[in-house]
Amino acid sequence: MTIKSIAITVAGVAAFGGVCFLAALARETGRWFEDVCGFMDELDETGGDWR
DSSP alpha helix (H) spans, 1-51:
3-45
CA distance 21 to 8: 20
Percent residues over pLDDT 70 in the chain: 88
pTM value is 0.52
pLDDT digits (tens, 9 = 90+) for 21-37: 999 998 999 888 888 88
> According to the model, what pLDDT value does residue 5 have?
93
Residue 20: pLDDT band with limits 50, 70, 90 = confident
> According to the model, what pLDDT value does residue 44 have?
77
